[in-house]
Amino acid sequence: MKMDGKCVVVTGGASGIGRTTVLTLCEAGARVFLGDINQEGGAETASMAQGMGGGATFLPLDVSDDSSIEAFAKEVHGATSQVDGVANVAGWDIIEPFINNTPDFWEKVVRINLMGPIKVTRAFLEPMIERNAGKIVNVSSDAGRVGSMGETVYSGTKGGIIAFSKSLAREVARHQINVNCVCPGPTDTPLFAGQPERMREALTRAIPFRRVATPEDIANAILFFASDLTNYITGQVLSVSGGLTMVD
């Protein structure tokens, strides 16, 4: 999958799936603008990409802050003539029983995981409509498809991202803009590594492939949806879970 000449925005690019997505897109030939609240990690990702010969620029971004999103989009639009794709990867959660959640926790989860992608998408959508071209790739979660114990509000936001993606796909199809959704299952990220060993082992045993996903597994799915291979695919939800959740 070649992305030569394409420009893609990636949120959450400082670590985990976001970092690997940046590197995967750059390796495919894309120019990437990555945003993250973690400025040190974001700068490191950009440096890694440049060391591979890729074109990556880090800009500070807090997807829960309207002014930060506005400033980020303004800088990107000022630095490039067009944005061909947006990958909304940034996310946040703490695994704990719903009954232990606080209202402040709920609000933070919703701001980052639901309203963040909505607002970032809106910040880059209008020029895509004017050009009649563009790819939006939203990273949801299998938690949004089938639920996840200890991630109740998070699951709600990720289910919202699925519905948002499908509805937006219908709305902008007449402008030749593709909107699709990637749903990772358990993935080898710092969040997963921080879970109790018993839980990690049980999840691994439940996956037909007997391993959790790597960030590369998820990044390759994002690359697929961002590429020209999906010009006639929109409104779709792709589970990348090793067969853990085989449901429609």
Q: Among all residues, which ones are annotated catalytic?
A: 154
Which pair of structure tokens corresponds to residue 44?
């490191």
Among candidate residues 219, 237, 226, 221, the one with its CA nearest the CA of residue 15: 219
Between CA 146 and CA 168 the distance in angstroms is 22
Among candidate residues 13, 2, 193, the one with its CA nearest the CA of residue 120: 13
Residue type, 138: N
Residues 6+ apart with CB under 8 A from 224: 1, 230, 238
Find the distance separating the first CA and the last CA of the chain, reported in whole Å: 27
Between CA 32 and CA 84 the distance in angstroms is 10
